[in-house]
Every structure is written in C-alpha cells, then in structure tokens.
Structure 1
C-alpha cells in the first residue's frame, strides 16, 4: 500500500486516505520535464530570444503557479463541481467562440489562442477538457439506469460531440477534439454493463480508418488542404521532407541516433534543427540524449501516474467522483499515447504535447488543476482499520 496520511476520526474505525504516491510521481515528472525542457530548448531560445533559459524560466514560473493552484483545488469539496459543471461547459464553448473574434491570435499557422493582458495567451481547448471531465459525469449520474439504453448513451454522446465539434470547428484543433470524444466514450464504456457493442464499434472504426488511409493515399497528391497534406506527409515522410515532413524526419533521426543509453544529457544535435522542439517533439530529444532507456523511464513514470489515478477512481466515494478521475485518467493516457505515436510517425502530426514535460503555460496549469481535483477526491476515500 502507498504512503497515506491517516487522520483518526473520533468514535470511528475509519481513516482518511491521501495519495502521496500520486503527488510524489507528479513532482518527479515535472522536475524531469523541466530538466529536459532546458536541455531541448536552450539553443533555440538563445537564437530566438537571446536567452538560453527563456522557455525554462517561463515554464518553471507556470509550474510554481500550477502547484499552488493544485493545492487550492485539492482543498475544494468535489461536490461543488456538480453545481458548476454545466456553467463551466458553456463558458468553455464561449471562450472557443472568442478565438474567431479579434481577441483570437494565430501562432505558427494555428489560430487556437485568446490574447490576455500582459502579453499572456489562453488556449480555450484546455478548459474544454476539464469542462467535459466535470460535466459528462453529471449527465451520467442524472440519467441513472437510463445510461444503459441507446437513448441514454446517445444523449451523453451528443454533449461530448458538441464539445468536440466546437473544438474542431472554432479552434481547428483535431487532436483535442479526439481527446474530448475519447473521454466521453470511455466514461460511457465504464458505466455500461456490456462490452461487446463497444468492441464491435471499435473494430468497425479501425477497419474504416485503414480503408480510408488507403483511399486517401491515392487521392491526396493534388490536395491543398493542410490536414490532408499532413496525412500525405505521414504516409511518405521521405518524399515530402521539404514540404512538411522535415520535423518528423529529424525527430526520427534523433531517436535512431540515441541508441539504447543515448548521447548524454545536453549532447543532442537534432535539437538545433527540429522546429519547435520544446513542444510536441521533445520526446525525440529525450530519446537522443537518454536513449531508449530514458524513454522507457518516462513511460514508466506515466504508467505509475495512471496507476495511482486508476486506484483513486476504483476507491472513490461515489459514482460521480469515480467518473471524474476516470476522465482525468483518460485525458492523460490519450495525450501521452497520441504524442508518442506522432513522434515515432505512427499517426500524422497533430501538435499534441507530452503532459508535464512539453513547453506550454496553459497546458501545465490545467493539468495541475486536474491533479488537484484527483488529490481532493483521494482525500475523501475512507479506509477501514
């Protein structure tokens, strides 16, 4: 059993649990991420901002604020989220709509951010993830046994689809839309008593994707759509290395040159040529500097983090809190999986970052908020003596 904080209650044989193991893994993961962020971004930061620690200093500031926010959130009774969830959901939709107004700003060809005072930026898609994690469980609990019916599942699925559609249409962020739908589908799967329909649907979806890829491969060469061109680059990265496949190819070179134990921390050569390496391609630099061994360590850390979240979800006091932690688990698991698949070129580039390690202020703040929610729920777990 992991370390626990046990506060004995008067006239009771129960103790209060707090998941210090989750907190320890989180701290280690964030510290490791800061080290790798500095190593990966020092050269590009020096060239672009004349300060090799530019990205590192900004990220460590966001991490400190994030830990403070995590503590504050962990002290909030999760039952309050039931009242706020619907409002947070609609606020997220409004914020995504603001991206299409003059407040929206474009970064590296993608218009996904809102300009805030003092030069800061906000990515509404990150708020949408938390909104769905908090709101979909409310719908499921309100439906009760009706969630087992096709109508009940359809209602929940529709709310998730609306959120995902807003993310995709208003912010042009396909990867986050996939994550939002993934969170919704996993929650429905968890509460539904049968697994056979989901297995059949997943199998049919996989077949359609494979067939679609083959069809697209024959049709994409004349397409001007940037998303379709990404698929073309993914299918033939060597042929289109100068038209979008450059980042992927250099990332693969970094992974291949690292070997099993890597070149050593700070000795990456590819970080000088990979564009925006501190964002979605940071795992390739980890592989180059620390080798396959370093990548395994990262994946083990994420595995431990997900294990602790699964433990909290299984022992949560009620269905709502269990589903909330399940949503957090699904979010992190999908984001890690998608990032790894992009880096090793199993799927087209999506711009999805590696949680707690990649550079990004909005991302780290809201990830910390999710961890605060999970820790707050863990503090409500009662263990019999």
Structure 2
C-alpha cells in the first residue's frame, strides 16, 4: 500500500509553475481560514445553536476544492484556453442575460443563478469575466498586425468588452467598471491605439458623471435620512438610487451622520491599534460590521493583525502581480503573455478596490477580497484564474528547461 508521504511527494513533483505564486496562494488561503472563522463565529453560534465551526469547515472545503481547481487547471496546456475562448464567451452572454431576467435576487440585485442539484448560487459575472479575458487575450495576440486600425483591430476587441460590461452593469456597476478598466489596461499594453482607448474612457465617464451629478443635485443636508429619500425617489430606475446614495454617503460623510458600515469599518481599524492588532480571533466589530466575512473582511484583518497584517496582505498581492508581469515578459507567445497579465490585473485590481473600500478611500463597491473572503463561486473562479496563470508559467518553465538541456548537449558535443 503506497504511503501518504509517497503520494504527497509525487504530487509535489507534478506541481509546476511559479513557486512564489503557489506560496502566495497557500498563504492567502491560510489567512482566509483564520479570518473567516473569526468573522463568522458569532453568526454561526446564532444560526446553528452554538456550533461555531460550521463556517470553518465550509471554508476549509472551499479551500481544498479551490486548490484542486488550481492544480488541475495548471496541468492543462494553456493553448487550449485560446481554442475554447470564443465558445466560453458565447456561453457567458446568454448566462448574463438569464441572470438579469431570472436570477436569484439578493439585496435588490440579480447577480446569481442557482444550480439545482448542488444547491449552489453562482455569480455569472465571475464566469463572464474569465471568458472575456481569455477571448480578448486571443484577439490581441491574433490582431497585432492590424491593432492600430479602428475597424480591423479595435472594434473586434472593444465590442465584446462593451457587451459584457453592459450586461453586468445593471446588477453590479462596480464590477462592470473594474472589468472595463482591466480590459482597457490590457488593450493599452497590447498596443491598441491610445486615441481609441481615450474615446472609450470618455464614453464610459458619461454615466459616472450622471450619477455624481444626480447625487450632488438631489442631496439635502436637512433630511435626517437622505439615503432612504434618494433611494425611494429613484427606485423606478433599477439600482440607480443605490448608486446615487453610495456616492452621497461617500462625498457628504462629514456633513451628516457617517453611514453605519463606514462607522463600523473605522472602529475596527481603530481597535487594531498601530502594529499587531488585537490578535487572532479577538475582533469586536465582527458582531456589528455588515458582511464582515465577505466584502468588509479587510477591516477585520487590520483589527486582529494590525497595520502589520494589513501591509502583509497588500504585499502578497503586489508580489503576485510582479510575478505575473515577469511571466508576461518571459513568455514567447502573445496569447499566454496577455492571458497571464489579464487575469493577474483583474484579481489585483479587485483586491485593491476591496481594501480601498475597507479603509474608506472609495465608495462601497460590493467586491470581495480574492482568496480571502468567504468561499463561494467567486472563490472558485479566482482559483480557476490562478490555475490558468500557473499553466502559462508551467509551460514557460518546460520550454526554458528544454532550451537549457539542448544548450548543455550542444556544449558537450562541442567539447
């Protein structure tokens, strides 16, 4: 009977790709387990009659499944993703449409569809983003000769981006903006004409300026509950009222009562002190902070692990981005290079947005902290993205190994 140690050794020998990225994934997964267990302890106690380990084992199962997804996808040759990218993108569009029309509604937004057999809700925008970045990476790699041309190079890339962002926007404006920003950044690196990119930015700024203008013009400092007033007067236009109220909360936070979520985030950060925080499991604000285990997990990290813990998390994401940029620069094939860069950009930009909300630098967005927030479909799609990045790194490692081997053989023959 083969030993567990032997099986583990074989697994390690079959694990390839960037070791730093593997290390970052493991470190963030361990952090997630600790922080989610702490943030959900009181909730689990109330919901499950004293059983505080329910969410711990749930998160552990998602981490194990997520690591399995990373391992499986990193073993797949990344060129396959180029072949299936169009099919995945064409699947994502009707999925987004179905979600808008018939999706599960949570917090006045249809972002999820429910899978009947496994009873799991899936946020289709996560799948759509993954499919979109595969597809535009393929388009950028195939159209480098015509990339400066508006019809031949620009339109085939920007049209899928606009369709996906337009379908995500009604339910999740912040997610649509982050997806669009990542796509434009990738197009800039892919040598798309800068004038065309500026044109897209100018058009995208129109709805943002409309929201800010309405927020400023409809704000009334004398109203004791301005948020509810603005939402109730604009609820007939989808989530427009929610967007306006979040902008008002952010701009006028000092003029009226600070929004409850921002208050609790600030208290959590203040409780953390300067360096090492209150210690693991000692958060006080987890009992009061909305979505402490999900959207607002970064303030809980700072409360329990202090400034040191908050900086370490930022450092890990920046190292992840640096290693992916290194893969981009070393990869000899354009598709793999663009794919690694696109998926790293979307994860790091999402992480920065979540942390910026946590310290009240930008309005509330509702995006999770990748690999740290409590598990779900978002966690699994994040793992899928990292597995694909590691697939590019693994193939690059194999090519460089073969090149080194042939050089050694050639030098031996010459000797």
Whether TM-score is above 0.5 comes out as yes
Using the TM superposition, give the Cα deviation of residue 360 of structure 1 relative to its aligned residue in structure 2, in angstroms: 3.0
1:143-182 matches, within 5 Å, as: 143-151=143-151, 152-169=153-170, 172-182=171-181
Using the TM superposition, give the Cα deviation of residue 214 of structure 1 relative to its aligned residue in structure 2, in angstroms: 6.6
Using the TM superposition, give the Cα deviation of residue 378 of structure 1 relative to its aligned residue in structure 2, in angstroms: 0.8
Q: How many equivalent residue pairs?
A: 366
Using the TM superposition, give the Cα deviation of residue 143 of structure 1 relative to its aligned residue in structure 2, in angstroms: 2.2
1:49-64 matches, within 5 Å, as: 49-50=48-49, 51-64=51-64
What is the aligned partner in structure 2 of residue 10 from structure 1?
none
Using the TM superposition, give the Cα deviation of residue 56 of structure 1 relative to its aligned residue in structure 2, in angstroms: 2.1
In 1: Cα distance, 2:26 partner to 2:113 partner:
29
Comparing 49-58 and 250-259, the one that deviates more: 49-58
1:327-338 matches, within 5 Å, as: 327-338=342-353
Query: What runs of 5+ residues in structure 2 fail to find an aligned partner?
Result: 1-12, 221-228, 232-240, 405-415
Q: 1:166 to 1:193 in 2, by over 3 A?
A: closer
What is the aligned partner in structure 2 of residue 26 from structure 1?
25
Comparing 48-57 and 133-142, the one that deviates more: 48-57
8 Å contact 1:42–1:52 — kept in the other structure? yes
What is the aligned partner in structure 1 of residue 260 from structure 2?
246
Using the TM superposition, give the Cα deviation of residue 208 of structure 1 relative to its aligned residue in structure 2, in angstroms: 10
8 Å contact 2:147–2:192 — kept in the other structure? no
In 2: Cα distance, 1:350 partner to 1:209 partner:
14
In 1: Cα distance, 2:88 partner to 2:249 partner:
38
What is the aligned partner in structure 2 of residue 232 from structure 1?
248
Using the TM superposition, give the Cα deviation of residue 204 of structure 1 relative to its aligned residue in structure 2, in angstroms: 11
8 Å contact 1:132–1:163 — kept in the other structure? yes
What is the aligned partner in structure 2 of residue 299 from structure 1?
314
8 Å contact 1:132–1:180 — kept in the other structure? no
Using the TM superposition, give the Cα deviation of residue 61 of structure 1 relative to its aligned residue in structure 2, in angstroms: 0.8
What is the aligned partner in structure 1 of residue 326 from structure 2?
311
Comparing 334-343 and 195-204, the one that deviates more: 195-204
Using the TM superposition, give the Cα deviation of residue 286 of structure 1 relative to its aligned residue in structure 2, in angstroms: 0.8
- Asked which structure has the greater CA Rg, the reply is 2
Secondary structure in 2 matching 1:177 = helix
What is the aligned partner in structure 1 of residue 107 from structure 2?
108
Secondary structure in 2 matching 1:118 = coil
Q: 1:365 to 1:220 in 2, by over 3 A?
A: same
What is the aligned partner in structure 2 of residue 265 from structure 1?
280
8 Å contact 1:241–1:249 — kept in the other structure? no
8 Å contact 2:265–2:296 — kept in the other structure? yes
Query: What runs of 5+ residues in structure 1 fail to find an aligned partner?
Result: 1-6, 8-15
8 Å contact 2:154–2:192 — kept in the other structure? no
Using the TM superposition, give the Cα deviation of residue 130 of structure 1 relative to its aligned residue in structure 2, in angstroms: 0.6
Using the TM superposition, give the Cα deviation of residue 187 of structure 1 relative to its aligned residue in structure 2, in angstroms: 1.6
Q: 1:98 to 1:210 in 2, by over 3 A?
A: closer
Q: Deviations over 1:149-196 (max 9, x none)?
A: 333223312210111111113xx0112211221222122101117768
In 1: Cα distance, 2:56 partner to 2:158 partner:
40
In 1: Cα distance, 2:169 partner to 2:65 partner:
29
Comparing 214-223 and 32-41, the one that deviates more: 214-223
Using the TM superposition, give the Cα deviation of residue 218 of structure 1 relative to its aligned residue in structure 2, in angstroms: 3.2
What is the aligned partner in structure 1 of residue 39 from structure 2?
40
What is the aligned partner in structure 1 of residue 388 from structure 2?
373
In 1: Cα distance, 2:216 partner to 2:118 partner:
45
In 1: Cα distance, 2:357 partner to 2:320 partner:
21
- Normalising to structure 1: TM-score of the pair? 0.87
8 Å contact 1:220–1:228 — kept in the other structure? no
In 2: Cα distance, 1:276 partner to 1:53 partner:
18
8 Å contact 1:133–1:183 — kept in the other structure? no
Using the TM superposition, give the Cα deviation of residue 310 of structure 1 relative to its aligned residue in structure 2, in angstroms: 1.3
1:318-357 matches, within 5 Å, as: 318-357=333-372
- Normalising to structure 2: TM-score of the pair? 0.81
8 Å contact 2:147–2:193 — kept in the other structure? no
Using the TM superposition, give the Cα deviation of residue 219 of structure 1 relative to its aligned residue in structure 2, in angstroms: 2.6
Matched, 1:278 2:279: no
Using the TM superposition, give the Cα deviation of residue 122 of structure 1 relative to its aligned residue in structure 2, in angstroms: 1.0
Q: Deviations over 1:6-38 (max 9, x none)?
A: x9xxxxxxxx97311211111111111111111
Using the TM superposition, give the Cα deviation of residue 80 of structure 1 relative to its aligned residue in structure 2, in angstroms: 1.4
